Structure 1
Amino acid sequence: MGAILVHVGASQAVAREVSGAARGGGFVQVDEFEHPEAFERIRERVAPYNAFTSADSVREAAGERGRERVSVPDLAFGDAPQGGENGASLLVPYGDPPSVRYEYDAGVGAYRRLHGGRPTIDEAVGLEVLPENVVVISTEVTEIAGTSDVAGAPSLTYRGTGSGPVIVLRDGKRHEGTWSRGGSGTYRFADASGTAITLKPGLTWIHILPASVEVQ
């Protein structure tokens, strides 16, 4: 799609794969090693979790290609779909680090996101992150051979095309159905009858989980 991929660090195998894909024209790569001027390390956080950047810095580092207009596939937004079960809360059991929990706040029409019991805060503005939609996509997730980093943690890949189960939370309702995606297109969500499960206009938080993981 010609997007800008921004990242800081990777295992050698993954770095080679990403650089090769960027040279092939699939996207524009801006990473800390080739473009250190686009990143800032702050003292308030422990490395390597203290790298920050901005949209302006990224676009400047990307050069002319970063300013090209691109066509971006969009998700389907619309009125609340019919049906649905109680979707006032959802637990995503990551384990370590702690699980992520969503709780619907009817007063604001969005979900509170709790990580280890603590609200997720957008530190740039000091406000709580409140997504209107939460989407959980189930698919096959596998380790990429030969990509372990210095700590022994492998990189993961997942099947992002075809179809599989999906859970969509919006307006305090839980809708279960099927996700589908072909090629580099966008994800579509539908219920058992094939009717689209549309999202509420606003912020959407998407989780992609192994099919073996059950959310509660």
Structure 2
Amino acid sequence: MRVRRGSGRTGAAVAAVMCAAMTAGLSSCSGTGPAPATSVPPSPPGRGVSPFTGLPAALAPVLAVKIDNVRPARPHTGLGAADIVYVEQVESGQTRLLAVYSSRLPSRVGPVRSARESDLELLRQFGRPALAYSGEQSALRPLIDAAPLFALAPRDAPRAYARGQDRPAPHNLYVRPERVLAAAPRADAAKDIGFRFGAEPPGGRRVNEHTVRYPAARFTFTWSATGDRWLVAMDGSPARGTDGERAAARTVVVQDVDVRPSRFRDRGGNVTPYTSTVGSGTALVLRDGRSHDARWSRPSADGATTFTTPAGEPLTFAPGQVWVVLKGR
């Protein structure tokens, strides 16, 4: 589904909704990250709990942003404010990120890159979210137009995007979340996508570090007991934002999925991999300095993705930002 700029809620109104979620010590409207939490805080009156983080938040519209992740695209901007960060394989064994925002909106996110077919299946569990991306190859456009989302490339919301001067194109396109959501006034609010949050589950194995390798990229998650979070490194270097803050997650999910060639190719002729997130399989959940074997299940594209123990019990995540690393099995 496509939308055009100039209808519905203004950017200021969207900002007001989001800033309403930033009280009770969660954050400010600048997009800085919340202090790590060890349990689910109580919800203040008239507020809910985010189904994406397990923390108190207004159930605001969902915005997904496709983010570049090759070395020239780093450091990233606005990644620390995301509720969920998905890691996806793209051409030549590289990766890109799909960051999902609802609880908090930073002033700017990027660098933004093009969408892939896999994004359309992954995002269907969010209902009808807004998707910010730099563009797509012409053969993919009909699928994006037919997808149940609000696709907002620069041609659809030109006031929401700007080129930075800090690095060369194509690694310098940034989006303003308030403005892109103003162009999608009917984007769905956050809803249950299968995550469960709570106390640390029993069992598991104590682990200080875990590395996930792709053909041409790798991610290392190192447990910080003092920060109560997993510090992220990309290709051997600590991942930091343009604000200097270290990228970190309360929970990391390494989800084993099917990755197969699609019928699409990039400009260089490289086949675009398709990552299937419907079905079931194994996963590894990292939280509180331990790793837990898990099973994941998503019977249909419109359904939620649940994570359970091998015995079938719900596997709870630590409240806070979640990274889901989609890795070919």
Identity of aligned residues (%): 25
Q: Report the Cα offset of residue 144 of structure 1.
A: 1.3
Alignment-derived partner of residue 118 in structure 1: 237
What letter is aligned with 2:139? Answer: A
Tell me the secondary structure at the aligned position of residue 76 of structure 1: coil
Q: Report the Cα offset of residue 71 of structure 1.
A: 5.1
Task: Output the CA distance in 2 between the equivalents of 1:137 and 1:157.
Answer: 15
Task: Output the CA distance in 2 between the equivalents of 1:65 and 1:168.
Answer: 34
Alignment of 1:28-47 (within 5 A): 28-47=150-169
Alignment-derived partner of residue 294 in structure 2: 177
Q: Report the Cα offset of residue 61 of structure 1.
A: 2.5
Alignment-derived partner of residue 139 in structure 1: 257
| Residues 73 and 109 (structure 1), Cα distance of their counterparts in 2 relative to 1, 3 Å cut | same
Alignment-derived partner of residue 87 in structure 1: 207
Q: Report the Cα offset of residue 15 of structure 1.
A: 2.4
Taking only aligned residues, the RMSD between alpha carbons, in angstroms, comes to 1.6
Tell me the secondary structure at the aligned position of residue 325 of structure 2: strand
Q: Report the Cα offset of residue 46 of structure 1.
A: 1.6
Task: Output the CA distance in 2 between the equivalents of 1:112 and 1:71.
Answer: 26
Alignment-derived partner of residue 227 in structure 2: 108
| Residues 114 and 174 (structure 1), Cα distance of their counterparts in 2 relative to 1, 3 Å cut | same
Tell me the secondary structure at the aligned position of residue 128 of structure 1: coil
Alignment-derived partner of residue 10 in structure 1: 136
Check conservation: 1:140, 1:210, Cα contact below 8 A: yes
Counterpart among 142, 149, 152 of residue 27 in structure 1: 149
Residue 208 of structure 1 pairs with residue 326 of structure 2? yes
Q: Report the Cα offset of residue 36 of structure 1.
A: 2.3
Tell me the secondary structure at the aligned position of residue 112 of structure 1: strand
What letter is aligned with 1:18? Answer: I
Bigger relative CO (Cα 8 Å, ≥ 6 apart): 2
Unmatched segments (≥5 aa) in structure 2 = 1-126
Alignment-derived partner of residue 186 in structure 2: 65
Task: Output the CA distance in 2 between the equivalents of 1:71 and 1:36.
Answer: 25
Alignment-derived partner of residue 214 in structure 1: none
When the two structures are superposed, what TM-score results if normalisation uses the length of structure 1? 0.87
Q: List 4+ stretches of structure 1 deviating above 4 A.
A: none
Task: Output the CA distance in 1 between the equivalents of 2:296 and 2:181.
Answer: 32
TM-superposition CA deviations, 1:156-181 (whole Å, max 9, x none)? 32222221010000001010121111
Q: Report the Cα offset of residue 188 of structure 1.
A: 1.2
Task: Output the CA distance in 2 between the equivalents of 1:204 and 1:141.
Answer: 21
What letter is aligned with 1:65? Answer: R
Check conservation: 1:87, 1:174, Cα contact below 8 A: yes
